[in-house]
Amino acid sequence: MPFIRRTLPALALLVALCATPAATPRAQGLDIATANIVDLTHPLDSDTIYWPTDTQGFKLTPIFKGKTEGPEGYFYVAFRFCAPEHGGTHLDAPYHFAEGRKTTAEIPVQRLIGPAIVIDISAKAAKDRDYVLSVEDVTAWEAEHGKVPSGSIVLLRTGWSAHWPNKLAYLGDDTPGDASNLHFPSFGPAAARMLVDRGAMVLGVDTASIDNGPSRKFYVHRIAGAANVAGLENLTNLEQLPPTGAWVAALPMKIAGGSGAPARVVAFLPGPAKTP
């Protein structure tokens, strides 16, 4: 892939510039040019899961598709797409739940690229679909891997992406327009506060929300938003990431004034790189 070979050195420089002194040694030693790249993003299509209160979903409408006119006509296609901010793999801006905090376009890109840690609660979530990450879960992770570094992108693996795109299995309820009976795991408020206090830049999860399904007060969103910490929701392939050592780039559409946006989220792991 010549394009990838040309762009990787520039990306390596970008990652180096975004590095924080608190980054883990393994992340600092990652060679982007030889890294294994993992896509953490679900595609946007007619099966994409959106927050149930939105009933429109993703729409892709052809503007033109086919051969242009004339003797030298050629194939050309273009579409118009329409979608809510909050659905599929996307970013929640702090402004989503915190008045006066950063909108989607205002988040510094340096806070969206950084060393990732992965906390795995999939075994507990399999037994309790409303499970929330606890302070004890975080301290258990730290006992094995060290203190959560400031400047981390914290990813919570619940195993829920295996249910995608089955709305009933993924959300716990598939009633159109109704978000009152959802059941899926996520962060707990006390653990979220702990992670924000540790200096987490982003909280991400492979479920529909950084608050769990039954949440009505959305404390995790409010805690994160107040601290100008972005959220990533509906991630996938977290089982391919190690607990430490990966870098993540989470780049949303730069919507001015937005409360969120679809995002392409990728992870870079220590090599050897896999051929696409």
pLDDT digits (tens, 9 = 90+) for 36-49: 999 999 999 999 99
Question: What integer pLDDT is reported at residue 29 of this predicted model?
Answer: 64
In this structure, is residue 260 part of a structural domain? yes
In this structure, is residue 264 part of a structural domain? yes
Question: What integer pLDDT is reported at residue 275 of this predicted model?
Answer: 63
Residues of the chain with pLDDT > 70: what percent?
88
In this structure, is residue 71 part of a structural domain? no
What are 205's strand-pairing partners?
156
Question: What integer pLDDT is reported at residue 90 of this predicted model?
Answer: 98
- Rounded to two decimals, the pTM is 0.87
User: In the predicted model, is pLDDT for residue 257 greater than 90?
Assistant: yes
| Neighbour tally for 130: CB within 10 Å | 15
Per-residue pLDDT, averaged over 68-88, amounts to: 93
> Closest Cα partner for 155 from 48, 233, 60?
233
Q: How far is CA 223 from CA 84, 190, 206, 210, in A?
A: 23, 9, 19, 11
User: In the predicted model, is pLDDT for residue 20 greater than 50?
Assistant: no
**CATH code (residue 238):** 3.50.30.50
**Tokens 């992870």 — which residue?**
267
Per-residue pLDDT, averaged over 263-276, amounts to: 84
The pair of three-digit structure tokens given for residue 207, joined into one six-digit string: 């479920």
**Tokens 């653990």 — which residue?**
191
Question: What integer pLDDT is reported at residue 56 of this predicted model?
Answer: 87
Q: Domain of 190?
A: 2-55+85-269
Each residue's pLDDT tens digit, 127-167: 999 999 999 999 999 999 999 999 999 999 999 999 999 99
In this structure, is residue 78 part of a structural domain? no
In this structure, is residue 137 part of a structural domain? yes
Question: What integer pLDDT is reported at residue 157 of this predicted model?
Answer: 98
**What is the rounded average pLDDT for all residues in the chain?**
90
Determine the 3-state secondary structure of 142 from DSSP. Answer: helix
Structure confidence at residue 32 as a pLDDT band (50, 70, 90): confident
User: In the predicted model, is pLDDT for residue 24 greater than 70?
Assistant: no
Taking the C-alpha atoms of residue 176 and residue 9, their distance in angstroms, rounded to an integer, is 46
Residues of the chain with pLDDT > 90: what percent?
83
Q: What is the number of structural domains in the chain?
A: 1
In this structure, is residue 117 part of a structural domain? yes
Structure confidence at residue 103 as a pLDDT band (50, 70, 90): very high
User: In the predicted model, is pLDDT for residue 69 greater than 60?
Assistant: yes
Structure confidence at residue 34 as a pLDDT band (50, 70, 90): confident
In this structure, is residue 102 part of a structural domain? yes
Question: What integer pLDDT is reported at residue 22 of this predicted model?
Answer: 39
Per-residue pLDDT, averaged over 202-213, amounts to: 98
In this structure, is residue 121 part of a structural domain? yes
